[in-house]
Amino acid sequence: MTFTIVFLIAFIASFGLRHWLSQRQIHHVAINRDVVPAEFASQITLAEHQKAADYTIAKLRLGIFENGVSAIILIAFTLLGGLQILNMGLLQLLGEGVAQQIALLVSIVLISGIIDLPFSWYKQFYLEERFGFNRMNAKLFFSDMFKGLGIGGAIGIPLLWVILSLMAQAGDFWWLWAWGVLTVFSLLMQWIFPTFIAPIFNKFQALEEGPLKTQIEALLSRCDFASQGLFVMDGSKRSAHGNAFFAGMGKAKRIVFFDTLIEKLNPGEVEAVLAHELGHYKCNHIRKRLLVSFALSFATFALLGWVSTQPWFYNDLGVMPNPNGYNGGLALALFMLVSPAFSFFLTPLSSLASRKHEYEADGFAADKSSATDLISALVKLYQDNASTLTPDPIYTAFYSSHPPAPLRIANLKRFKSES
């Protein structure tokens, strides 16, 4: 019973906190809807500012509704016995063993996916559409979905089979082996994803010769950065939002620009955005993030290794463990369902670290490229993506991976006056 109460407290607190933060953000954006902040008044019109407010609020309202639905699903699976019924049904069908445990996890993923489907559909074809960001059609939506399912199954099921077999046969320290497998797997994915998976969804073309390419190559040599080529990705196939990113590790680093980014920004601004991304690399943010994620997954697996042997972990969450073995899938399922209610409270820590990294990368960009160009690129991106310029401070502190626009730009202006 004790753990039921602990779980319920974390569940209610995390649900309530999510809801409260969203309401705060809605309120803050709404009361600032009628005036463009002074520092942006020359570049952003009132109509654009109001569009950003409406878009932000529409996304938050959908998020509040989704938060409610996922709360119901979580309680239905655990305390109301959904997982128990599913486990019993699959035991009758398949008997005990790793296959049954895989089937249990796959069923949960499929059930959650089916429940999530109307939300993704609404988000793409109503919300994004209403604000002019959607570039997808139903055919692409479903082809993405089936490709995702196919690839997820082809990679995920063998991986699950390895982890569940370790759980069943590798003794008390199975979790250490499983952690090792997952760590090697995620390192491999850094190479597999850009090389084999991303091209299934998008086209990548070499950046054409011209002033932009010359400028980018000059920046790369200034930053002493060896890349495996510059590519443009057809992001406009799905959305009008723009972005730039890196792919790959070590010697296989590719630089990929969304076509939407190149359309919207001038070469100087593209260079400044890329300099910011290079800053993440040169300040070792990418390596740090990877190391932190390995450390966290180590702690998570150690915890899972312990709770999976405790009868209360199952009983207090509404399931009966199989008395003679093969509970790996059940433990994994419960853990995946329940742990977000606890780990949610760590969000502000990772947001804080991320915002610190953003400032550092901006500093790097100001040094190697131009603060002025980065500022004008950011303003254009805020404008084009209808991102709010007036977020609630507490919401930002909790969730935001990037500093709010006014602070970020004020920080860049500091570099401008120094140089």
Q: Which residues are catalytic?
A: 277, 362
Given the complex with Zn ion, which of 332 and 361 has the nearer CB atom? Answer: 361
Q: Which stretch binds Zn ion (CB under 5 A): 18-26, 40-48, 234-242, 355-363?
A: 355-363
Q: Which stretch binds Zn ion (CB under 5 A): 86-94, 216-224, 226-234, 360-368?
A: 360-368
Q: Is 285 annotated as a binding residue?
A: no
Residues between 152 and 211 with contacts to Zn ion, criterion CB under 5 A: none
Angle at 185 between CA 77 and CA 116, to 5 degrees: 30
Quick one: 287 exposed, middle or buried, by C-beta within 10 A (0-12, 13-18, 19+)?
A: exposed
Query: Which among 329, 246, 314 has a CA at the least distance from the CA of 281?
Result: 246
Given the complex with Zn ion, which of 232 and 361 has the nearer CB atom? Answer: 361
Q: How far is the CB of 403 from Zn ion (least distance, A)?
A: 10
Alpha carbon distance 75, 81 (integer Å) = 8
Q: How far is the CB of 381 from Zn ion (least distance, A)?
A: 12
Alpha carbon distance 365, 371 (integer Å) = 7
Residues between 33 and 62 with contacts to Zn ion, criterion CB under 5 A: none
Alpha carbon distance 361, 282 (integer Å) = 9
Query: Which among 324, 320, 348, 347 has a CA at the least distance from the CA of 334?
Result: 320
Given the complex with Zn ion, which of 10 and 378 has the nearer CB atom? Answer: 378
Q: Is 129 annotated as a binding residue?
A: no
Alpha carbon distance 26, 57 (integer Å) = 6
Instruction: Give the DSSP H or E segment for 244.
Output: strand 244-247
Q: What single string gives the DSSP state of each residue in 262-298?
A: HHHS-HHHHHHHHHHHHHHHHTTHHHHHHHHHHHHHH
Q: How far is the CB of 195 from Zn ion (least distance, A)?
A: 23
Alpha carbon distance 135, 242 (integer Å) = 13
> With contact defined as beta carbons under 8 Å apart, do 51 and 99 qualify?
no
Q: Is 280 annotated as a binding residue?
A: yes
Q: How far is the CB of 246 from Zn ion (least distance, A)?
A: 11
Alpha carbon distance 96, 126 (integer Å) = 44
Residues between 361 and 400 with contacts to Zn ion, criterion CB under 5 A: 361
Given the complex with Zn ion, which of 244 and 330 has the nearer CB atom? Answer: 244
> With contact defined as beta carbons under 8 Å apart, do 225 and 281 qualify?
yes
Given the complex with Zn ion, which of 182 and 371 has the nearer CB atom? Answer: 371
> With contact defined as beta carbons under 8 Å apart, do 415 and 385 qualify?
no
Q: Which stretch binds Zn ion (CB under 5 A): 161-169, 295-303, 351-359, 411-419?
A: 351-359
Give the binding-site size for Zn ion (rule: CB under 5 A).
2
Q: How far is the CB of 191 from Zn ion (least distance, A)?
A: 22
230-233 β-sheet, strand order: 204-206, 230-233, 254-258, 244-247
Given the complex with Zn ion, which of 90 and 273 has the nearer CB atom? Answer: 273
Q: Which stretch binds Zn ion (CB under 5 A): 114-122, 151-159, 302-310, 357-365?
A: 357-365
Q: Which residues bind Zn ion (CB under 5 A)?
A: 358, 361
Binding residues: 276, 280, 358
